């Protein structure tokens, strides 16, 4: 990195690998870690973040605006914490957010060191932000930050610490608008995710980094995506075999390299008929 620049710094660290000891083999552990890291990478890309450091179980991501960093933290927590367990064990993530200079030195300087410390102060499944970062949030995103995350403890150089999107029951992390706007609920095997304001794009495909991973060999690696737009929920096919949609009791429709509005409830088949009895069907409903 050739210049020093103030940025929103996000540090995400996976925790919980010790749960896997003696329960699953190294290959399954590697799969569980890679699955989480792929989702983290997807979030960074979707919010125009730049990954400046990355290893097997942590990443440092730079955002131009603190709003983007907070939204990324919320989505990373949701995506990783909602993953099903592997052999009864699961990984979690802890996140630190800070606004500071990222220097040209290999470790990125004091700003990244402080952000790592913030992440390490948090519990699994928690994101902590410095007062410096929270001060720069817009009013809409500011409500994601809860006060006094560590009972008044102050980390030297950052002032008060704020919790971002604490667990349900202690802090409402979603914007009020998301509770009244429509959401598209997607169900695939044991996973349930939503297309909504804070996650306007969901990816489907055979590749590990997709939001919904379709195991069927007829699915393309990056098969399709679903977007929330002003006019509704739109499925965009980008596959070889097409995407089959059966919705609202009408005849099945196959879309290939085109877009299709989704009106639920219905079913989606990635490369195969939505009327087949398949474990990899995706069920959707507007709620």
- Give CA–CA dist 177/268, Å, rounded: 28
- Residue 153's pLDDT is 58
Region for residue 145 given its phi and psi (left: phi exceeds 0; alpha: psi -120 to 50; beta: otherwise): beta
**C-alpha distance from residue 266 to each of 4, 76, 188, 261, 275 (Å):** 51, 28, 12, 12, 10
Average pLDDT on 78-83 reads 86
Predicted confidence (pLDDT) at residue 179 exceeds the cutoff of 60: no
- Residue 139's pLDDT is 73
Give tens-digit pLDDT for 203-234.
999 998 888 999 999 999 999 999 998 889 99
Average pLDDT on 229-243 reads 93
Contact 149, 162 (CB under 8 A): yes
Give tens-digit pLDDT for 114-137.
999 999 988 899 999 998 898 888
When comparing pLDDT for 20 and 252, which is higher?
Answer: 252
**C-alpha distance from residue 106 to each of 2, 18, 103 (Å):** 11, 29, 8
Predicted confidence (pLDDT) at residue 195 exceeds the cutoff of 50: yes
Q: For residue 181, what pLDDT band results from cuts at 50, 70 and 90?
A: low
Strands 232-237 and 224-229 come out as antiparallel
Strands 212-213 and 201-205 come out as parallel
Would the pTM of this model clear 0.85, i.e. be above it?
Answer: no
Predicted confidence (pLDDT) at residue 21 exceeds the cutoff of 70: no
| Size of the chain in residues | 287
Average pLDDT on 94-105 reads 86
Predicted confidence (pLDDT) at residue 171 exceeds the cutoff of 50: no
Average pLDDT on 47-57 reads 89
With CA atoms as reference, report the closest residue to 75 among 52, 48, 44, 116.
Answer: 44
């Amino acid at each position: 990195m050739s210049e020093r620049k103030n940025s929103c710094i996000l540090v995400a660290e996976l925790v919980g690998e010790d749960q896997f000891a003696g329960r699953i083999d190294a290959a399954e552990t590697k799969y569980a870690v890679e699955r989480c890291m792929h989702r983290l990478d997807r979030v960074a890309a979707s919010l125009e973040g730049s990954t400046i450091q990355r290893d097997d179980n942590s990443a440092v991501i730079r955002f131009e605006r603190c709003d983007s960093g907070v939204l990324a933290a919320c989505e990373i927590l949701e995506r990783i914490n909602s993953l099903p367990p592997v052999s009864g064990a699961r990984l979690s993530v802890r996140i630190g957010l800070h606004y500071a200079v990222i220097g040209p030195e290999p470790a990125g300087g004091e700003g990244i060191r402080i952000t790592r410390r913030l992440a390490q102060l948090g519990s699994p499944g928690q994101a902590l932000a410095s007062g410096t970062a929270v001060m720069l949030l817009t009013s809409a995103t500011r409500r994601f930050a809860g006060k006094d995350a560590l009972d008044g403890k102050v980390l030297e150089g950052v002032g008060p610490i704020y919790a971002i999107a604490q667990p349900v029951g202690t802090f409402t992390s979603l914007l009020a608008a998301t509770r009244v706007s429509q959401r598209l609920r997607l169900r695939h095997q044991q996973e349930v995710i939503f297309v909504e304001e804070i996650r306007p794009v969901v990816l489907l495909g055979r590749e590990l980094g997709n939001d919904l991973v379709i195991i069927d060999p007829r699915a393309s690696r990056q098969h399709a995506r679903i977007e929330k737009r002003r006019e509704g929920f739109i499925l965009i096919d980008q596959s070889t075999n097409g995407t089959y949609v059966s919705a609202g009791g009408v005849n099945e429709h196959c879309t290939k390299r085109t877009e299709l509005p989704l009106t639920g409830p219905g079913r989606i088949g990635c490369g195969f008929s939505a009327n087949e009895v398949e474990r990899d069907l995706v069920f959707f409903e507007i709620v």
